[in-house]
Chains A and B, each alone.
Chain A
Amino acid sequence: MSSTVLFRRGRVIDPRNGVDGVRDVLVRDGKVAEVSEAPLPVPQGAEVVEANGKWVVPGFIDLHVHLREPGEEGKETVLTGCRAAVAGGFTAVVAMPNTKVVNDNGMVTELVLSRARAANLCHVYPAGAITKGLKGEEMAEMGELVSAGCVAITDDGRPVMNAALMRRALQYSTQFDVPIMVHEEDLTLSAGGAMHEGPTSTRLGLRGIPASAEVAMVARDLVLLEETGARLHLAHVSCEGSVRLIREAKRRGLRVTSEVTPHHLILDDRAVGDYDTHAKMAPPLRSNRDVEALREAIADGTVEAIATDHAPHGVLDKLVEFEKGINGIIGLETAFSLTMELVHAGALTAKRAVELLTHGPAKAFGLPGGHLAPGAPADVTVVAPEEEWTVDAHRFYSRSRNTPFHGRKQKGRVVQTWVGGRKVFENGQVGPSKESR
Chain B
Amino acid sequence: MRHLLGIEGWRRDELEALLDRAKAHLPGGPDTTHVLRGRVVANLFFEDSTRTRTSFHMAAKGLGASVMNWTQTGSSVSKGETLLDTARNIEATGVAAIVMRHKSSGAPHLVAKHVRCAVINAGDGTHEHPSQALLDAFTLRRRWGSLDGRTVLILGDIMHSRVARSNLLCLKALGARVVLCAPPTLTPPGLEAMGAEVTHNLDAVLPQADAVMCLRLQLERQTENFLPSLREYSRLFGLNAAREERMKEGAVVMHPGPINRGVEIAPAVADGPRSVILEQVSNGVAVRRAILEVCAS
Residues of A at the B interface (CB closer than 8 Å) are 197-208, 274-275, 316, 319-324
- Give the residue of B125, B191, B193 whose beta carbon is less than 8 angstroms from that of A205: B125
Least Cβ–Cβ distance between A265 and chain B, in angstroms: 23
- Closest Cβ–Cβ distance, residue B131 to chain A (whole Å): 16
5 closest cross-chain pairs (CB), A and B: A199-B190, A205-B127, A275-B106, A321-B104, A205-B105
Residue of B nearest to A208 (CB): B188
Known contacts: A320-B83, A320-B110. The answer to whether A206 contacts B189 by CB under 8 A is no
Q: Which of A202, A207, A275 contacts B189 (CB 8 A)?
A: A202
Q: Evaluate contact between A323 and B104: CB separation under 8 angstroms.
A: yes
Contact A321 B106 (CB under 8 A): yes
In angstroms, Cα B125 to Cα A203, docked, is 12
| 30 residue pairs from A and B, CB less than 8 Å apart | A197-B188, A197-B189, A198-B190, A199-B194, A202-B189, A202-B190, A202-B191, A203-B8, A203-B190, A203-B194, A204-B127, A205-B105, A205-B124, A205-B125, A205-B165, A206-B125, A206-B126, A206-B127, A208-B188, A275-B110, A319-B82, A319-B84, A320-B82, A321-B83, A321-B104, A321-B106, A321-B107, A321-B110, A322-B105, A324-B104
Indicate if B162 sits at the interface (CB-CB under 8 A).
yes
Query: Chain A nearest CB: distance from B77 CB in Å?
Result: 12
Minimum CB–CB distance from B3 to chain A (whole Å) comes to: 12
| Complex: A205 Cα to B160 Cα, angstroms | 8
Report how far A319 CA is from B125 CA in the complex, Å.
18
Q: Which of B165-193 contact A (CB under 8 A)?
A: 165, 188-191, 193
A203-B194, A206-B126 in contact; A321/B189 too (CB < 8 A)?
no
Residues of A within 8 A of B165 (CB): 203, 205
Q: Check A205–B126 contact: CB distance below 8 A.
A: yes
B72 to chain A minimum Cβ distance, whole angstroms, is: 13
CA distance A203 to B188 in the complex (A): 9
- Interface flags, B91-119, vs A, CB<8A=1, else 0: 00000000000101111011000000000
Q: Which B residues are in CB contact (< 8 Å) with A207?
A: 126
Knowing A275-B105, A321-B104, say if A205 contacts B128 (CB, 8 Å). Answer: yes
For residue B127, which residues in chain A have a CB less than 8 angstroms away from its CB?
204-206
What would 6 more interface pairs be, CB under 8 Å, given A200-B190, A205-B162?
A204-B106, A205-B124, A206-B127, A320-B83, A321-B102, A322-B104
Nearest residue (CB) in B for A277 is: B110
Q: Closest CB-CB distance, A110 to chain B, in whole Å?
A: 36
Check A322 against B106 for contact (C-beta < 8 Å). Answer: yes
B82 / chain A contacts, CB cutoff of 8 Å: 316, 319-320
CB distance from B160 to the nearest CB of A (A): 9
A207 to B107 CA separation, bound complex (whole angstroms): 14
The chain B residue with its CB closest to the CB of A191 is: B224
Contacts of B107 in A (CB 8 A): 321
CB nearest neighbor in A for B8: A203
Contact call B109/A275, Cβ cutoff below 8 A: yes
Docked pose: A202 CA to B191 CA in angstroms: 7
Contacts of A321 in B (CB 8 A): 83, 102, 104, 106-107, 110
Q: Output the nearest chain A residue to B159 by Cβ-Cβ distance.
A: A202
Tell me which residues across on chain B come within 8 A of A206, comparing CB atoms. 105-106, 125-127
B6: min CB distance to chain A, Å: 9
In the complex, what distance in Å separates the CA atom of A402 from the CA atom of B107?
19
Assess the A201–B188 pair: CB atoms within 8 A.
yes
Q: Which residues of A contact B102 (CB under 8 A)?
A: 321
User: Which of A197, A202, A324 is packed against the most chain B CB atoms within 10 Å?
Assistant: A202
Residues of chain B within 8 A of A319, CB atoms compared:
82, 84, 110
In the complex the two chains form, is B106's CB within 8 Å of A202's CB?
Answer: no
For A201, the chain B residues whose CB sits under 8 A away are 188, 190
Nearest CB of chain A from residue B108's CB, rounded to whole Å: 10
Residues on A with C-beta less than 8 A from B189 are: 197-199, 202, 208
